[in-house]
A and B are shown apart, each in its own frame.
Chain A
Amino acid sequence: MISLNNVSKWYGQFQVLKDCSLQVNKGEVVVVCGPSGSGKSTLIKTVNGLEAIQQGAIFIGDREVSSAQTNLPALRSRVGMVFQHFELFPHLSIIENLALAQMRVLGRSKEEAYQKGYKLLERVGLRAHSDKFPGQLSGGQQQRVAIARALCMDPIAMLFDEPTSALDPEMINEVLDVMVELAQEGMTMMCVTHEMGFARKVAHRVVFMDHGAIVEDQRKEDFFSRPTSARARDFLSRILH
Chain B
Amino acid sequence: MERLDWSGLPHALPTLWSGMLITLQITVLAIVFGVVFGTLLAALRLSAVKPLVYFARMFVTIFRSFPLVLVLLWFFLLIPQLLQAVLRIPPTTDIRLVSAMVAFALFEAAYYAEIIRAGIQAVPRTQSGAALALGMTYLQAMRLVILPQAFRAMLPLLLTQAIVLFQDTSLVYVIGLADFFRSSTNIGDRDGTAVEMVLFSGLVYFVICGATSGMVKLLQKKGAR
17 A–B pairs (Cβ distance < 8 Å), ordered by A: A50-B129, A73-B136, A76-B134, A76-B135, A77-B135, A79-B133, A83-B130, A83-B133, A87-B126, A89-B149, A90-B149, A91-B149, A100-B134, A100-B144, A101-B135, A105-B134, A150-B134
- Chain B hits for A79, CB < 8 A: 133
* A153 close to B135 (CB less than 8 A): yes
Residues of A within 8 A of B (CB): 45, 48, 50, 73-81, 83, 85, 87-91, 100-101, 104-106, 149-150, 153
Known: A73-B136, A76-B135, A105-B136. Contact between A87 and B130, CB under 8 A? Answer: yes
- Chain B hits for A100, CB < 8 A: 134, 144
Provide the bound-state CA to CA distance between A186 and B148, in Å.
Answer: 37
* A87 close to B127 (CB less than 8 A): yes
Q: In chain B, what residue has the closest Cβ to A159?
A: B133
Provide the bound-state CA to CA distance between A105 and B129, in Å.
Answer: 15
- Chain B hits for A90, CB < 8 A: 149
Q: What does DSSP make chain B's interface, helix, strand, loop or mixed? A: helix
Q: In chain A, what residue has the closest Cβ to B153?
A: A91
* A87 close to B135 (CB less than 8 A): no
* B134 close to A85 (CB less than 8 A): no
* B134 close to A153 (CB less than 8 A): yes
- Chain B hits for A76, CB < 8 A: 132-135
- Chain B hits for A78, CB < 8 A: 135
CB distance from B211 to the nearest CB of A (A): 27
- Chain A hits for B145, CB < 8 A: 89
CB distance from A83 to the nearest CB of B (A): 6
* A81 close to B136 (CB less than 8 A): no
Q: In chain B, what residue has the closest Cβ to A78?
A: B135
CB distance from B174 to the nearest CB of A (A): 42
Known: A87-B127, A91-B149. Contact between A81 and B133, CB under 8 A? Answer: yes
A50 touches which of B133, B140, B148, B149 (Cβ 8 Å) = B133
Interface size class of B (residues with CB under 8 A): 10 to 19
Q: A73-B137, A77-B135 are known contacts; what are 8 more A-B pairs with Cβ within 8 Å?
A: A45-B129, A74-B135, A87-B130, A89-B127, A100-B144, A105-B134, A149-B134, A153-B134
Does B217 count as interface, using CB distance less than 8 angstroms? Answer: no
Does B50 count as interface, using CB distance less than 8 angstroms? Answer: no
Provide the bound-state CA to CA distance between A74 and B134, in Å.
Answer: 9
* B136 close to A85 (CB less than 8 A): no
Provide the bound-state CA to CA distance between A155 and B140, in Å.
Answer: 20
Q: In chain B, what residue has the closest Cβ to A87?
A: B130
* B127 close to A73 (CB less than 8 A): no
Provide the bound-state CA to CA distance between A150 and B134, in Å.
Answer: 7
- Chain B hits for A83, CB < 8 A: 126, 129-130, 133
Residue of B134, B140, B145 with highest tally of chain A CB at under 10 A: B134
Does B152 count as interface, using CB distance less than 8 angstroms? Answer: yes
Known: A50-B133, A89-B145. Contact between A104 and B140, CB under 8 A? Answer: yes
Q: In chain B between 121 and 164, which residues have their CB closer than 8 angstroms to a CB of chain A?
A: 126-127, 129-137, 140, 144-145, 148-149, 152
B136 touches which of A80, A87, A104 (Cβ 8 Å) = A104
Provide the bound-state CA to CA distance between A100 and B141, in Å.
Answer: 11
Provide the bound-state CA to CA distance between A105 and B138, in Å.
Answer: 12
* A87 close to B140 (CB less than 8 A): no
- Chain B hits for A101, CB < 8 A: 131, 134-136
CB distance from A38 to the nearest CB of B (A): 20
* A77 close to B134 (CB less than 8 A): yes
CB distance from A90 to the nearest CB of B (A): 7
CB distance from B183 to the nearest CB of A (A): 42
CB distance from A85 to the nearest CB of B (A): 6
- Chain A hits for B132, CB < 8 A: 50, 73, 76
* A104 close to B144 (CB less than 8 A): yes
- Chain A hits for B126, CB < 8 A: 83, 85, 87
Provide the bound-state CA to CA distance between A150 and B137, in Å.
Answer: 16
* B148 close to A91 (CB less than 8 A): yes
Provide the bound-state CA to CA distance between A74 and B149, in Å.
Answer: 25
CB distance from A96 to the nearest CB of B (A): 10
Q: In chain B between 90 and 142, which residues have their CB closer than 8 angstroms to a CB of chain A?
A: 126-127, 129-137, 140
CB distance from A47 to the nearest CB of B (A): 10
CB distance from B127 to the nearest CB of A (A): 6
CB distance from B218 to the nearest CB of A (A): 19
Provide the bound-state CA to CA distance between A78 and B135, in Å.
Answer: 8
